[in-house]
A and B are shown apart, each in its own frame.
Chain A
């Protein structure tokens, strides 16, 4: 692999990372690097500084935060999040989505925060984080802000982060704990493959709405379908096909080498309905 001219720096604190970024003409934050390094191949020839976040102790944490929330630090690997006892107990749908990403070695390296910052329409963890009303905590030299997950994605590869802004952590609120879900994911093979289309339907024990429907790979960004959620809240499993139709209508997939737009739309409906039925069965049983 041929890379552009790289300068590599290790930051020890968040402040140092922000400063390093500001000092350099062109810098990128580096966590797992599983998205960043392949992207750098395309940037061949340009001068670039990588600011590595992995040595910042505070960012490696997965654990309790204020207000009963659970914090996922920017350097926490996808595998660590998937295996974390608190996550598995309180947010099992996040654990499920994590385990669909890449492969064992990739999950050991990749981070949940990186998966979000890459802002791919097929980011597996985004399906769960959207459903859980996660909060993205971003810091810059000027301020710290909390961005609701639903406002985070702007387009393919685009998030609402400002230049130099660093995501320190993602907060999983107490209010959405205890949900269960069905992650329907169609891909060409079972590992190291992005989804052709994926649908996460989850049900929370409390909160408004109780049903959460997230779609991947069928729009410029990961998507929540609030209208379908309302239907399911109101009608329960009987609203399955209506919700499926709403979901189908609300996505805007493209045709590419993996599948046609038409197939993706149809599968959004199929997987939505399947999610409703599976959850209804498991609750009844």
Chain B
């Protein structure tokens, strides 16, 4: 294991490389780049939860002056595939085609129009005549597998492309079941056992920029797609699949994007602009309206039954987690999200016996997909609330209880081997682990158990809660990130990465890593990212992978380039390579001689042994080292109104080395705010016909800064030997904390357990009332 070295630029909060231009309003987003003559697209969407198209007459729309193309199931080839932006072959079922003759949720695609203006496109939609046969709809996930339930995917060509359970005739998208040891025996034999049910709800990512994409036919027969995506290379592959084109005819560019949070790990609209551009021979732009964005992708609602047992001394014994996950009308990310419920939550503690089993079902509700946390959010809620309940039942402090049971460095969990991306996972031993430090430092900073408590009869009652978390860093043996670096004659470098900066700052931290290795300042590293023609491959921004995986690819490429530079310098200076090192924009020899990088660059390009200094590097991993985190929250519950005020929040996180501490803290603060919204106010509600009741910012509220407590973030440094400069991931883990920490704090305040999120005033009052009736 390489020891921690002193670094110059890694570990420093350098300014975000695109910060100034974004703040100044430079035209960097997709919609800023519309070419003259660009057509505008709109989508006709189903207003039925479940229906079969009987007839569709688009002629009046086609005849409208200014309409360039109308697409529908009758004129677009049927190619079954998934919208999930995952590595190929995808673990998500092929249950989707560009347009189908069946409509499976309110919002499903019926037709798409490209016209001279957005208004004309909308007008054209109104001229389309649609006649349907309505079918019974399943809104409640519990009813999806009832005998005689309507089959949502009855098309014969729906299938999976990896060997996993898929039974659409039973509305079953995925089934997972693994067991280590004997859980039933372990539950029965222990001193105490617990059996509770939890549920989590639909929520939307609410990125500031909705999905938007521009497709431009090029003179050479190719198509250029500029899109707000987390996965440009998957967009290229999946659009090629839909068009039945070779990948080589498509170029995908990701400009600056206004947030994704998982919603854009989805090829949601790129196929539409591509088809419309090909049909019309003109550039086509589509931006989803906010109403469409609310119905684009959501978090998977889940019901979780969690059974655990523990010895009187507080040693965890057996765990049995059973999940029912609702993926909505299409199965994108259905299997992998549910696998994450187990794989990112169960290894956190040492268990003798483990069972994890789950069903993922279709319903006619909104389509669930990737959302920050990716299943870990839902399962951590169940686990950490139950941990609190166990600790209290045993009379052990919840912090102590976690310290006693959490996984240690050097240990493994059978879950790593058992649960992967649908199939088996990859065994790993835990490397860096700062969880104990996180717990102690956060507890101290927070003042755990040292705060004044209000009287139990008061109207406003305060309580404290905490939770422990883990996530992963990339998908082992699946994800790949690559980088290339070339040197210019002034000693600057072009760093090309496939990695996707979705506002997270990955362009900045990848440049920091390159600058560190090459011994130059940030200004010398010119980053180009996410262009499938120019940059090397990268799976994209998901699974908390960019820093850990793409960062290591950058480090490797930079190391190779540094070696080449030293070689050129050695030739010029007549010294052995091993006596030379890179620092402060120079190559420095042990004897004090030095050469500037500009001198070396100019020499290599113009003078002697002319040669482009440069290198490619790729990185994959056999590990997915978990970041760890401890969250503490204090709330005040108004027992008359049911309102919960979050007074204080401390989050300590072990993300290995924070390449850029300010950006890492920002990720944690954002994730906590995101999670507080999910815990307290955010919930997509459906009516009985499957329509969104609150699909607008008027009715769907996300927290404002005024609603947030001061979120104190503590970065607990550890060194993950397998990551670049010791780094692990940080972007997702923080969203998993608020649900359980707030639920536990509410219990501490008023003595009621809330197991159905979100914790709305009405639910709190109902729980208080029930508790009162029980005690009287």
Check A192 for interface membership: any CB of B closer than 8 A. yes
Contact check, A189 vs B704: say whether CB atoms are below 8 A apart. yes
Nearest CB in chain A: distance from B685 CB, A:
6
Q: Which residues of B contact A189 (CB under 8 A)?
A: 681, 701, 703-704, 706-707
Interface segment among A8-16, A174-182, A252-260: the answer is A252-260
A259→B762 CA distance, assembly (Å): 8
**Contact A2/B119 with A258-B699, A260-B762, A263-B765 known, Cβ cut-off 8 Å:** yes
Interface size bracket, B side: 10 to 19
Q: Which residues of B contact A186 (CB under 8 A)?
A: 641, 643, 761
Q: Which residues of B contact A144 (CB under 8 A)?
A: none
Q: Which residues of A contact B699 (CB under 8 A)?
A: 257-258
A260→B766 CA distance, assembly (Å): 12
**Chain A 142-172 interface mask (CB, 8 Å, partner B; 1/0):** 0000000000000000000000000000000
Q: Kindly identify which residue among B641, B706, B761 contacts A190, using a CB–CB cutoff of 8 Å.
A: B706
Q: Which residues of A contact B762 (CB under 8 A)?
A: 259-260, 263
**Contact A192/B704 with A2-B122, A263-B761 known, Cβ cut-off 8 Å:** yes
- Number of A-B residue pairs, CB cutoff 8 Å, is 39
Nearest CB in chain B: distance from A241 CB, A:
13
Nearest CB in chain A: distance from B270 CB, A:
24
Contact check, A257 vs B643: say whether CB atoms are below 8 A apart. no
Check A267 for interface membership: any CB of B closer than 8 A. yes
A188→B640 CA distance, assembly (Å): 16
Check A86 for interface membership: any CB of B closer than 8 A. no
A145→B707 CA distance, assembly (Å): 43
Check A219 for interface membership: any CB of B closer than 8 A. no
A24→B641 CA distance, assembly (Å): 49
Number of interface residues of A (CB under 8 A): 19
Minimum CB distance partner of A260 in chain B: B762
Q: Which residues of A contact B643 (CB under 8 A)?
A: 186
Q: Which residues of B contact A212 (CB under 8 A)?
A: none
Contact check, A257 vs B694: say whether CB atoms are below 8 A apart. yes
Minimum CB distance partner of B700 in chain A: A257
Task: With a 10 A CB-CB cut-off, give which of B119, B693, B762 has the most chain A CB atoms.
Answer: B762
- Give chain B interface residues in 681-702, CB to chain A under 8 Å: 681, 685, 693-694, 699, 701
Minimum CB distance partner of B703 in chain A: A189
Check A191 for interface membership: any CB of B closer than 8 A. yes
Check A56 for interface membership: any CB of B closer than 8 A. no
Minimum CB distance partner of A270 in chain B: B640
Check A211 for interface membership: any CB of B closer than 8 A. no
Q: Which residues of A contact B641 (CB under 8 A)?
A: 186, 267, 270-271
**Chain B 108-142 interface mask (CB, 8 Å, partner A; 1/0):** 00000000001100100000000000000000000
Q: Which residues of A contact B761 (CB under 8 A)?
A: 186, 259, 263
Minimum CB distance partner of B681 in chain A: A188
Q: Which residues of B contact A271 (CB under 8 A)?
A: 641
Q: Which residues of B contact A2 (CB under 8 A)?
A: 118-119, 122
Check A274 for interface membership: any CB of B closer than 8 A. yes
Q: Kindly identify which residue among B640, B694, B706 contacts A191, using a CB–CB cutoff of 8 Å.
A: B706
Contact check, B765 vs A191: say whether CB atoms are below 8 A apart. no
**Chain A 263-279 interface mask (CB, 8 Å, partner B; 1/0):** 10011001100100000
- Give chain B interface residues in 574-604, CB to chain A under 8 Å: none
**Chain B 635-655 interface mask (CB, 8 Å, partner A; 1/0):** 000001101000000000000
Check A238 for interface membership: any CB of B closer than 8 A. no
Q: Kindly identify which residue among A188, A193, A257, A260 contacts B685, using a CB–CB cutoff of 8 Å.
A: A257
Minimum CB distance partner of B693 in chain A: A257
A-B contact pairs, 5 of them (CB 8 A): A189-B701, A257-B699, A258-B699, A270-B640, A274-B640
Which 5 residue pairs spanning A and B have beta carbons closest together? Answer: A190-B706, A188-B701, A270-B640, A257-B694, A257-B693
Q: A189-B681, A274-B640 are in contact. List 10 more A-B contacts (CB 8 A).
A: A2-B119, A186-B643, A188-B701, A189-B701, A189-B706, A192-B704, A193-B701, A260-B762, A263-B765, A270-B641
